[in-house]
Structure 1
């Protein structure tokens, strides 16, 4: 009698052939019918994979030996971008042009599976993830390092709280790479839990240490300058701002092109942060228009009120978006909406309230294709359609992608 199939076990090594890309920086493979999500691999490759997690119905694994490489495979430039080491970069083993193909394939798959779009509808959108100016290294202008028990600053392993001490992060902005914050050779951080570094587009470089959530400025200014949308912004070094130097202007240009705001129109900037999109909209609608920005984070509200003080036709509402809409803190009619929710998406109640306000167009800025696709499906259920979609590689070497979609009624 043959032994029963026990399935894969953690730390087991297995030879497998890799199939299509999947969200999260993985590719899909199957072993005796069991789904395995494999990192550090490419479609079509034959690899030896080491199982890192086993769950009901699927397993996760790292490709530790490549037996047959795909043409798009390259040697990762960073020595820490390997199985069992830093989890920050998912795609350093993929040629830069192929990374765009990878992300485009993920976006398309999510639109078909979650937004319920057809292949023909995806073809009509001509979705293509676009590269930003500059190369795949040296772009990240904000990095938060975690400190280990020995006081060394480093980065986390994939899906782990374990710190990997590093001596350099190659995707970091050059000014950040020059800072003496990493070991070996850098300072130790015996009293800190994390160290945050910033190299702003305004030329400021700052280091902040955190101990039990309390920030202490180590070097550089407490407030940094950023330049975007034809304006200079000043905000706390710990405030949210796009981490790619070209990201803010890229997203503003895409949103304005899709919405084409007109003088005198009313606009909502939902999840508005420091007011990047509100400022751009205000310049288009003019002082005969009206902009309402909604933000819940105290730092974002403060930054928006300070940086947009010269635009009296912009109102900043401190509230959660769903609360502001449900309790009628903001009400229609409204002409255009910028929707820039967190990674979890806007959600059905927010989408329904936007639709009920009757805008002529919504520009949806998304950092997660799955959440975006789910919200697109909700819009479709209300009679709206995804009319245009652009993808941007705001995070080279990682699996992340940013989307800007135009949603129209009818």
Structure 2
């Protein structure tokens, strides 16, 4: 029996093929697939293998471009420089591509995932958000190295790459953070809210693994260093208050844009009922509440107790919105809630999953609006919905995370309608 190959550290000459989900492209060498970062489809590169577990594929980083593709640019961030080798920052995937090329790559990934995982064939256009590809990020979490300096981790590594600034983070957000030292091994969360207030919290190093109350408390503990720990935002004609380090869209233009698209797709009837699942601090519930009006009802379900409290406070003037704290899969399957005309769901990166999809489809809403930050998870959920008679009738995709491989999709599913 032959030993498994191990190409780690080996330099390969590669002709790069298509883009793949996850911020890399596909190449082949001696019958094996190579997932190679920092390159573009159509290029010829020299790449160094960074990870090889001996199977049918390995991972590599481009270290020299022999034949560049159209769309290649010099990275705007020095930590993405190819000369750094494995010490490059792992936070961005497409610094070496111009903005139009980045969106084309993401569109190709979304289309491929929909076809491969859900059997849906459709063209995809990824639309930009206002403001361009730099200085859009308002929320960031940094790691602290052994010397107390903050940075981002290298790709698929615990190694921290220290930084002085991050060109995708809003101006002024990191100056005070990078100028001082922090507790080695911990993390630092930074939020620049809609009023220009900076909030900084330090999370201590993770304690030894454990499942007891003390371990859970320590994992969640943070020390507010700057700001109040309570952020303020504006969207859809309303003011929002929330835990500064809880969930809100990281791109400063995303909340307004996504809420507008959800409002169009949902079209909840006046006097009707809507579910807002994974509802956060109430952004989508607000537009649904306007649609159903005082005689209707919106049920917002959110697992975070802090998020639920913030949602109830933010929407206190909307008596038609009721908040439920709990895991979505528990609330929609075990509690008595009114049948919906429309359901909006914005699940975490892993998607809604079989149990939630079954419960939503079993309630038989006329429309389901699915907001997703991972195209593979979206495709899996759409395939599950298809098994219950729902079909994709509209898809919008947005470059809400420029320079990274992430893309936001909003999908409209309707009961019994033909797939796109």
TM-score (normalizing by structure 2): 0.92
Q: Which residue of 1 aligns with 2:208?
A: none
- Secondary structure of the structure 1 residue equivalent to 2:78: coil
Q: Which residue in the other structure is 1:181 paired with?
A: 177
Correspondence for 2:278 among 239, 249, 271 = 271
- The structural deviation recorded for 1:151 is 0.6
Alignment of 1:244-393 (within 5 A): 244-327=251-334, 329-393=335-399
CA distance in 1, matches of 2:183, 2:327: 37
> 1:62 — aligned with what?
61
Residues 1:67 and 1:299: Cα distance change in structure 2 (over 3 Å): same
Note if contact 2:243-2:307 (Cα within 8 Å) is conserved in structure 1. Answer: no
Asked whether the equivalents of residues 201 and 225 of structure 2 are also in contact (C-alpha less than 8 Å), the reply is yes
1:96 aligns with 2:99: yes
Q: What are the Cα deviations for residues 151-210 of structure 1, in whole angstroms up to 9, with x where unaligned?
A: 111111111111111111111101314x2211xxx1111367111111112322111112
The 1-side partners of 2:327 and 2:33 are apart by 39
Deviations 1:218-245 (A, max 9, x none): 1222211011121111112111111000
Quote the residue 2:127 is aligned against: 130
In structure 2, the residue matched to 1:209 is: 202
Contact 1:202–1:225 (Cα < 8 Å) also in 2 = yes
3-state DSSP class of the match of 1:176?
A: coil
Once residues 275 and 235 of structure 2 are traced to their aligned partners in structure 1, the CA distance between those partners, rounded to angstroms, is 19
Match of 2:117 in 1: 114
Aligned length: 396
**Does the alignment pair 1:149 with 2:146?**
yes
Q: How far did residue 388 of structure 1 move?
A: 0.2
**Cα distance in 1, alignment partners of residues 349 and 43 from structure 2:** 31
For structure 1, which runs of at least 5 residues remain unmatched after alignment? none
Alignment of 1:23-42 (within 5 A): 23-42=21-40
Q: Matched residues in 2 for 1:275 and 1:167: separation?
A: 35
Indicate conservation of the 8 Å contact 1:192/1:209, yes or no.
no
What secondary structure is seen at the aligned counterpart in 2 of 1:181? Answer: helix
Alignment of 1:213-224 (within 5 A): 213=219, 214-224=221-231
TM-score, normalising length from structure 1?
0.94
Tell me if structure 1 keeps the 8 A contact 2:183–2:204: no
Consecutive aligned runs of 4 or more in structure 1 exceeding 3 Å deviation: 4-8
Distance 1:206 1:5 in 2: 53
- In structure 2, distance between residues paired with 1:330 and 1:134: 44
Task: Tell me what 1:167 maps to.
Answer: 164
